[in-house]
Amino acid sequence: MALPKGLDPASAYRTMVRMRLVEEALTQAWADGLVPGEYHSGIGEEGINAGILAHLSGRDSMALDHRNTSPLVGRGTDITKIMLEVLGSEEGLNLGKAGHMHLMDPELPAASDGIVGASGPLAVGAAVANQRLNPGRVAVAFHGEAAMNQGMLMESYNLAVAWGLPVIFVCKDNKWSITTYSAEVTGGDLTDRAKAFGLRVRRASGDRVEDVYAAAGDLIRRARSGAGPGFLHVSCHRPAGHFEGDPIVRLLKNPRGQAAEWGPSIADSVRAQGGGSRSERAAALTDLTKRGARAARDYTLRSRMDPIRRGRRLLDPASADRIEAMEAAEVETAITVAREAVDQRATFGATGGGAR
Amino acid sequence: MTIMEYGQAVDFAVGEAMAEDDRVVTWGEDVKLIHRDLLVRFGPERVRDTPISESAFLYAGIGAAMAGLRPVVEIMLIDFLPVAWSGIVNAASKFRDFSGGRWEIPLVVRAGCGGWYTDGGQHEQVLWGQLAAYPNINVVCPSTPADAAGLMLTAVETDEVVVFLEHQLLSEQWIDYLAGGSRSTVDFDRLIPADGAQGEVPLPLERVPLGRAAVRREGSDVALISLGVGVHRCIEAAQVLGGSGIDASVLDLRSVSPLDRDAVVDQVRKTRRVVVVDEDYVRGGLTGEIAAVLLEADVAAAYARVAVEGTIPFAPHLEYAALPNVERIVAAAAGLE
């Protein structure tokens, strides 16, 4: 397709590359034991984030979910501060009090919430405030398709329409609810659902930043002018699974190792006395196998649907090379600072407290 | 006797209860994968994945319990239960009384709780003090695999509502899932109490009654009272205190509601000094409740509490300082007159 008016492909590509490099630096730090707890990366969502962020300016509000690093990076939050926070340093963006699931940047403003669906009501509230205090500003809620089964998000759709709010709900559909296949636990079609609330609905492919940019632009312009809220459905893939160390991804990467870990107790349980009939047990095994097969299919698809690879084709190779080199240097500097800030600790810094 | 891990012991007890009674079913987010051993034994009708819809699937558990099933509803982490709070506060807590005692609600709400593995302020709370405030809600948190299995069996078999809290630091399932325990680059050995994460479980399972505390260590100078991981922190603190000539007892409450008032009073009558160690918030919770129990029983004692004062910070060293660690317990006990 022809590039949509207003989109600067070099700028969009730079944003996506920066997001990807920061995420890669953080997932590597996680693997190296430097990021405590969980880490939900936004790898695979760069096209969505960059396509939407290109329309935001001034103090438009963002309400983010558990994959919040990339939108903050794209919006210009200091990447060293983000990295320090995620690695658990007091020098971090939120003084070490938040961690990656709860990054907050009041300057943007952007707030993250690890409770699924919570970005909806947060954005609705920001939109009410914007409507009264700062007309012309919009609020954007980022959420997954799984969040659309959460009551508070559906209530937010209704509230947004009932009050005619300048808010856009961005549904990043990666087809998985944590490690459950969303279609297995979801009724109906999601865009039909959003339409039924009275939201203006658009769809886009998350692997094509220009597609997201065009669809989002329509909704954001409309909301900004006071004509009401919108819903953008965007497809995407999550190559690393729900979070780093996702058991299904481990199964795909190392089937033999994971089978050795899970196999014996599954075999014992299938044979255990008392319980379901033979056909119920067979249905359960089919269920598990199907989950693995679906994950494998999505896992394969992601390399073809990589928003960065597709975004690169929008500019000439030499410019792309230059952008990649510049961003890589900046990200490398930042992650070096963050790693040095925490690398002296043992067991995440705790000095005692537990049976040895 | 057999050796089990903590999470394995919980699932084993659920499995025994399901094998015994067809009315026992379980549902929650990702349960088919997380509790795959139950899935392949009992089939996808009795072990169900839910959408991320806590308020509906928790409340549905109440409806199902009133209609003849005995559901074990899993709210992945107790931090997510507030999304469904009305089900606890306005329904599970109330309906037996509203029915004049004729309608029992045999429901288990199963959830991970607790911190020490650095997962931030929305994934490490325990909330047991608030849960215990509501009528007809039993709240338990085991500190060993034997108690985990024994309390779960009791929870499924009773006709009452039980919130069953699995401490995430003790559960191999949650450490793997939430703490990235599969990484060879992390080491939780210094944080995870070995006796809590793995231990002997009697076979056939022995039921642990609700509201019965267990004395984990006898001592005459000060009583340390806790539950969950706190019990292990108290045992370690008692060893440290022993080095300076202070003889501490350790009481494992096991249930926050009902609270074993007799056990609390017995311990503190002997020691006349008490430290309540609580991974919950300091205000409006268990620590104040223990003080009230002692006052009501007319037991005069020097009292201190070690609990969580504010939002649990993410950074590991800040988190450690905010939780009831051994150093804080020792200082509180040593500071009592």
Give tens-digit pLDDT for B167-192. 999 999 999 988 888 888 888 888 89
Q: How many residues does chain B have?
A: 337
Give tens-digit pLDDT for A55-89. 998 899 999 999 999 999 999 999 999 999 999 99
Q: Does B83 touch chain A (CB under 8 A)?
A: yes
pLDDT number for residue B187: 83
- What average pLDDT does the structure give for chain B? 97
CB contact under 8 A, A345 and B32: no
Q: Does B313 touch chain A (CB under 8 A)?
A: yes
CB contact under 8 A, B318 and A92: no
Name the active-site residue from B123, B167, B232, B317. B123
Burial B14-41 (b: 16+ CB within 10 A, else e): bbbbbbeeebbbbbbbbbbbbbbbbbbb
Compute the nearest-CA separation of A241 from chain B (Å): 12
CA distance B124 to B167: 9
Contact yes or no for A314/A57 (Cβ under 8 A): no
Q: Does B218 touch chain A (CB under 8 A)?
A: no
Return the residue of B nearest to A37 by Cα: B179
With 0-12 / 13-18 / 19 or more C-beta atoms within 10 angstroms meaning exposed / middle / buried, residue B68 is: exposed
Q: How much of chain B, in percent, has pLDDT values that exceed 90?
A: 94
Q: Which residue has the tokens 């780093």?
A: A244
Question: Which of chain A's residues have a Cβ under 8 Å away from the Cβ of B195?
Answer: 355
User: What residue ranges of chain B have pLDDT lower than 70?
Assistant: none
Angle at the Cα of A202 (from A154 to A128), degrees rounded to 5?
Answer: 50
Q: Which residues contact A225 (CB under 8 A, 6 or more apart)?
A: none
Reading the block at residue B36, the tokens are 């795959």
CB contact under 8 A, B122 and A102: yes
Residue A149 is given by DSSP the state: G
Compute the nearest-CA separation of A196 from chain B (Å): 20
Contact yes or no for B246/B217 (Cβ under 8 A): no
Residue A303 pLDDT > 80: no
At residue B303, what are phi and psi to the nearest 5 degrees?
-130, 140
Task: Tell me the three state secondary structure of residue B80.
Answer: helix
Give tens-digit pLDDT for A194-233. 999 999 999 999 999 999 999 999 999 999 999 999 999 9
CA distance A9 to A2: 12
Q: Does B290 touch chain A (CB under 8 A)?
A: no
Distance of CA A244 to the CA centre of its chain: 13
Question: Which of chain A's residues have a Cβ under 8 Å away from the Cβ of B22?
Answer: none
Could you report how far apart the first and last alpha carbons of chain B are, in Å?
43
Give tens-digit pLDDT for B219-267. 999 999 999 999 999 999 999 999 999 999 999 999 999 999 999 999 9
Reading the block at residue A81, the tokens are 């501060």
pLDDT number for residue A128: 98
Q: Does B143 touch chain A (CB under 8 A)?
A: no
Angle at the Cα of A323 (from A322 to A329), degrees rounded to 5?
Answer: 90
Reading the block at residue B153, the tokens are 């069996």
Q: Which of A235, A316, A334 is nearest to A13 (CA)?
A: A316
Question: Which of chain B's residues have a Cβ under 8 Å away from the Cβ of A119?
Answer: none
- What average pLDDT does the structure give for chain A? 93
Contact yes or no for B118/A37 (Cβ under 8 A): yes
Predicted-complex ipTM score: 0.96
At residue A313, what are phi and psi to the nearest 5 degrees?
-70, -10
CA distance B242 to B336: 15
* Gyration radius of chain B's alpha carbons: 19
Residue A350 pLDDT > 60: no
Is B167 annotated in the active site? no
Residue A353 pLDDT > 60: no
Compute the nearest-CA separation of A319 from chain B (Å): 38
For residue A299, what pLDDT band results from cuts at 50, 70 and 90?
Answer: confident
For residue A351, what pLDDT band results from cuts at 50, 70 and 90?
Answer: very low
Compute the nearest-CA separation of B291 from chain A (Å): 26
pLDDT number for residue B181: 81
Question: Which of chain A's residues have a Cβ under 8 Å away from the Cβ of B41?
Answer: 269-270, 272, 275-276, 281, 284
Q: How many CB atoms lie within 10 A of CB A133?
A: 8
Range list of H helices, B158-213: 172-178, 194-197
pLDDT number for residue B179: 85
Q: What is the pTM of this model?
A: 0.96
pLDDT number for residue A345: 61
Q: How much of chain A, in percent, has pLDDT values that exceed 70?
A: 96
Task: Out of A85, A266, A272, name the one closest to residue B36 (CB).
Answer: A266
Task: Out of A96, A177, A269, name the one closest to residue B40 (CB).
Answer: A269
Give tens-digit pLDDT for A88-120. 999 999 999 999 999 999 999 999 999 999 999
Residue A354 pLDDT > 90: no
Whether omega before A36 lies within 30 degrees of 0, making that bond cis, reads no
For residue A298, what pLDDT band results from cuts at 50, 70 and 90?
Answer: confident
Substitution target in B20, B314, B318 with the highest count of A β-carbons within 10 Å is: B314
Q: Of residues A332 and A355, which shows the higher confidence score?
A: A332
CA distance B322 to A164: 44
